[in-house]
């Protein structure tokens, strides 16, 4: 279930009107409320993070399952509602009600053809998959699945989209909403889109939007939504589940000029929506898959040596969990640490750090080791700069054979391997400082 869907549509019959008393406007007639009991679920790792499956919800015995069913410690409560298409424009435009941040989901945007096929589906009364919303707070919702459908509907009703590539209703090609014949307009105005709203649990244990169980619930639902269409990768799921200042920091640092230059990502010249979705950047694999954000996150995840346990996925997930409620002051300190460490790495290696060979692209495993080591030794930054020639000499000596390159390449990616690479790089830098006479 995803916004890569193009051609389906839905009926405007048997409507269950929008939520009563929760901030979403519309006709309010007995919304259906249901409970989904959670069960174990594993997902594959599309980003190749070298991770084993990581269950946030799991049971080891049948007795545990029976007890869980009786006590219902973990459950998803949802309501099903329908929105008339004209209502969707109002809901989306009311940003205080529904959060449609472009960075919330995957970094892609529907083409005009995809938007047009959605509108054609509504006109043909073809079923359209429901959107999924998460009640982050009272009368405030986040879009878990369906962002592109909502944006396409809003843009069409705002006359921002010309229909194109319609195969069945081809005479409508080239027309905007305002240009449609009267009956066609009325058909669209009576069409509806179904929404499944995942409600916050009312019990005190789940009242905090950042509580561990709420985060587990969101992650579980995202992973289950991930069973069809184009899958969200682990970093995209983190981005969706762990919203907050730390997640925004990770995204922002991935735009840093030094970072984009090192990793070959087209530079940012502004923070406008158009710039964020630049065609050149969308062709970049790291950007498109949020691999750039994963790389930034790795720095913070590996700073805390005693937290390097288990799979890389669990290390990164737990890092996001630890930082989900960080203060502005803490965020400022993390920004300072990342920018200064990255800048020093770039300086020490003449703008081309993290390479395994002179002409190779940067390596994530070498990034992990060098960034963690430089971060640890940052109080000795002046000594490192003075010892720059010794740093480079020892660095390339450590990579002088295929066996040594393999050691740093990340092919061995257990927690122990990661700790060993960081330890080796830290000692290498200390040796370079000693070579310089400090």
pLDDT tens digits, 52-78: 444 445 566 777 666 665 555 455 677
pLDDT tens digits, 114-141: 999 999 999 999 999 999 887 776 667 8
pLDDT at site 436: 94
pLDDT at site 278: 76
* Rg of the Cα atoms in the chain: 25
- What integer is the mean pLDDT of 307-320? 94
Are residues 253 and 339 in contact, defined by beta-carbon separation less than 8 angstroms?
Answer: yes
- What integer is the mean pLDDT of 276-287? 81
pLDDT at 179 over 60: yes
Burial of 356 (0-12, 13-18, 19+ CB in 10 A): middle
**Sign of the four-CA dihedral 159, 162, 167, 172:** positive
Contact residues for 89 (Cβ-Cβ < 8 A; gap 6+): 153, 154, 157, 158
How many Å apart are CA 200 and CA 211, to the nearest integer? 11
pLDDT at 412 over 60: yes
How many Å apart are CA 23 and CA 29, to the nearest integer? 14
- Look up tokens 């630049």; give the residue: 278
How many Å apart are CA 366 and CA 428, to the nearest integer? 13
How many Å apart are CA 294 and CA 45, to the nearest integer? 13
How many Å apart are CA 327 and CA 411, to the nearest integer? 36
More confident: 177 or 43: 177
80: confidence class by pLDDT, cuts 50, 70, 90: confident
């Amino acid at each position: 279930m995803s916004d890569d869907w193009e051609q389906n549509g839905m009926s405007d019959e048997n409507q269950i009107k929008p939520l009563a008393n929760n901030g979403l406007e519309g006709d309010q007639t007995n919304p259906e409320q249901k409970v989904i009991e959670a069960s174990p679920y594993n997902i594959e790792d599309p980003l190749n993070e070298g991770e084993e499956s990581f269950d946030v919800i799991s049971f080891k015995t049948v007795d545990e399952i029976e007890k869980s069913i009786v006590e219902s410690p973990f459950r998803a409560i949802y309501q099903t509602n329908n929105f008339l298409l004209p209502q969707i424009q109002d809901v989306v435009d009311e940003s205080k009600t529904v959060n449609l941040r472009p960075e919330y989901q995957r970094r892609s945007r529907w083409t005009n053809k995809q938007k047009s096929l959605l509108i054609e589906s509504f006109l043909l009364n073809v079923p359209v998959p429901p959107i999924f919303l998460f009640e982050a707070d009272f009368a405030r919702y986040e879009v878990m699945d369906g962002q592109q459908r909502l944006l396409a509907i809003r843009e069409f009703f705002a006359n921002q989209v010309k229909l194109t590539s319609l195969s069945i209703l081809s005479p409508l090609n080239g027309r905007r909403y305002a240009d449609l014949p009267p009956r066609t307009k009325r058909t669209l105005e009576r069409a509806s889109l179904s929404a499944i709203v995942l409600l916050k649990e009312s019990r005190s244990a789940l009242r905090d939007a950042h509580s561990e169980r709420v985060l587990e619930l969101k992650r579980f639902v995202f992973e289950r939504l991930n069973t069809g269409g184009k899958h969200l990768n682990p970093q995209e799921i983190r981005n969706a589940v762990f919203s907050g200042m730390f997640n925004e920091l990770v995204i922002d640092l991935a735009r840093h000029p030094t970072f984009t230059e090192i990793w070959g990502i087209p530079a940012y010249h502004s923070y406008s929506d158009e710039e964020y979705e630049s065609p050149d950047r969308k062709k970049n694999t790291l950007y498109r898959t949020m691999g750039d954000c994963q790389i930034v996150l790795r720095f913070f995840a590996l700073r805390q040596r005693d937290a390097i346990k288990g799979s890389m996925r669990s290390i990164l997930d737990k890092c996001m969990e630890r930082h989900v409620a960080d203060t502005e002051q803490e965020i400022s300190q993390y920004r300072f640490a990342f920018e200064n460490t990255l800048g020093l790495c770039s300086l020490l290696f003449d703008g081309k750090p993290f390479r395994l060979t002179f002409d190779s692209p940067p390596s994530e495993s070498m990034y992990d080791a060098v960034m963690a080591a430089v971060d640890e030794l940052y109080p000795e930054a002046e000594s490192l700069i003075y010892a720059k020639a010794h740093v480079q000499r020892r660095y390339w000596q450590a990579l002088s054979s295929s066996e040594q390159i393999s050691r740093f390449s990340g092919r061995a990616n257990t927690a122990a391997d990661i700790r060993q690479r960081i330890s080796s790089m830290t000692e290498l830098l200390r040796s370079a400082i000693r070579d310089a006479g400090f």
